Amino acid sequence: MSVDTIQSRRDWLLSERPASRMQARLGRAYVAWRRFSANRLAFLGLLIIIALLVVAALAGVLAPYSPTFGDLKNARLLAPSAEHWFGTDDLGRDILSRILYGSRWTLYVVILVAIIAAPIGLLVGTVAGYAGGWTDAILMRITDIFLAFPKLILALAFVAALGPGIENAVLAIAITSWPPYARIARAETLTVRNSDYIKAVQLMGASPFRIVLRHIMPLCISSLIIRVTLDMAGIILTAAGLGFLGLGAQPPLPEWGTMIASGRRFVLDQWWVAGAPGFAILIVSLGFNLLGDGLRDALDPRSGDQ
């Protein structure tokens, strides 16, 4: 592509007079992208997350060995080597292969929690904030009850009631992580509900349902995305914690937390068994945190509208 066409494309995106809905939307996205990509650390975070997605998608191709069957006879607790980059565990399974497959479970947990918890929080928060009065009082007291317990303890209680397993762990984490989102959405709603532009929509004759859905929620979404991204690390760690305590994913599932749990017995002599999945959790958590920080700068409505 020549320099000229790139330049004209940029002008088209940054046009002060967009000619279509599409152009206006793309232009806005482009401005956010420019702000985001100017932040190197955030870009690194994005790369880490993209790498995670690629690894999860191609685990079957990339992994040199089976994640669940090991060579019990010859390959127990081997140190990292050219054959087994990250070594093997007590059942002779290749740790690298297990980590690659494990990324799928990490993504599974993170995405499901985000899909369940964020919309619940958004709905509860905006409805409470916009309706006010009794609705607000009841919804927010319920939120407070959830917030009163430490997240991991509450998740433990739920898993204990529902039974161990990765699906239940996801459910438990989702149930315990929506209240902060509800708080954020409510706070955001309170600041905009009395603004003239919401009053103007009321004067159009819009129903409360329509106002919340089409005018208030879009304003809350960016701060929510930021918060959810920043929480991803916490979600991964909680999932790992549940796995570690034997209440999350069950062996032989290659989930990172469960892997650390089974490696803890040899952590002094065969450090790589627990160390490698620990390092994976660290990297991915860092990636999400950097991404969240970058998104905050790029999307934050308070940092001006440009």
Partner 1 sequence: MTSAISVDGLEVIFDRFRALKGVRLDVQPGESFGLVGESGSGKSTLLRAIAGLAPVASGSIAVNGKTLGARRDKAFYREVQMVFQDPYGSLHPRQTVDRLLQEPLAIHGFADGEKRIQRALDEVGLGNGFRFRYSHQLSGGQRQRVAIARALILEPSILLLDEPTSALDASVQAEVLNLLEEVRRRRKLTFLMVSHDLAIITHMCERLMVMQSGEAVENLAANDLVERRVSKDYTRNLLRASDGFVRTA
Cα separation, 33 vs 14, in Å, equals: 12
Q: How far apart are CA 168 and CA 97, in angstroms?
A: 25
Exposure string over 219-238, b if 16+ CB within 10 A, otherwise e: bbbbbbbbbbbbbbbbbbbb
CA-CA-CA-CA torsion sign (87, 88, 94, 97) = negative
Q: Which stretch binds partner 1 (CB under 8 A): 172-180, 207-215, 234-242, 267-275?
A: 207-215
Cβ neighbours of residue 43 under 8 Å, at least 6 residues apart?
36, 37, 294
C-alpha 168/C-alpha 229 separation (Å) is 22
Closer by beta carbon to partner 1, 14 or else 79: 14
DSSP-derived 3-state class of residue 83: coil
Report, in Å, the least distance between residue 198 CB and partner 1.
Answer: 8
To partner 1, the closest distance from the beta carbon of 136 in angstroms equals 17
Stretch that binds partner 1, among 46-54, 174-182, 194-202, 229-237 (CB under 8 A): 194-202
- CA 123/CA 168 separation, integer angstroms: 23
Q: Which of 95, 123, 219, 284 binds partner 1 (CB under 8 A)?
A: 219
Contact flag: residue 209 with partner 1 (CB under 8 A)? no
Round the CA-based radius of gyration of the chain to a whole number and report it.
23
Q: Could you say whether residue 21 binds partner 1 (CB under 8 A)?
A: yes
The rounded distance, in Å, linking the Cα atoms of 42 and 39 is 5
Q: What is the size of the binding site for partner 1 (CB under 8 A)? A: 28
Query: What number of other Cβ atoms are within 10 A of residue 94's Cβ?
Result: 25
Q: Which of 204, 268, 269, 302 binds partner 1 (CB under 8 A)?
A: 204
By beta-carbon proximity to partner 1, the closer residue of 2 and 306 is: 306
Q: Candidates 111-119, 159-167, 203-211, 278-286 — which segment interacts with partner 1 by CB under 8 A?
A: 203-211
Contact between 61 and partner 1 by CB under 8 A: the answer reads no
Place of tokens 């603004």: 195
Q: What is the DSSP letter of 79?
A: P
* Exposed/middle/buried for residue 167 (C-beta within 10 Å: 0-12, 13-18, 19+): middle
DSSP string, 220-278: HHHHHHHHHHHHHHHHHHHHHHHHHTTSSSPTTS--HHHHHHHHGGGTTTSTHHHHHHH
Stretch that binds partner 1, among 36-44, 81-89, 201-209, 288-296 (CB under 8 A): 201-209
CB of 34 to partner 1, least distance (A): 16
Q: Smallest distance, Å, CB 225 to partner 1?
A: 14
Using CB under 8 A, pick the residue from 1, 3, 4, 17 that binds partner 1.
17
**32 touches partner 1 (CB under 8 A):** no
Q: Is 306 in the site for partner 1 (CB under 8 A)?
A: yes
Q: Least distance (Å) from partner 1 to the CB of residue 22?
A: 9
- By CB under 8 A, is residue 302 in contact with partner 1? no
| Binding residue for partner 1, selected from 44, 190, 201, 213, defined by CB under 8 A | 201
Contacting residue, 20, 74, 268, 302, with partner 1 by CB under 8 A = 20
Amino acid at residue number 88: T
Name the residues that contact partner 1, by CB under 8 A: 16-21, 23-24, 28, 195-197, 199-206, 210, 214-215, 218-219, 301, 305-306
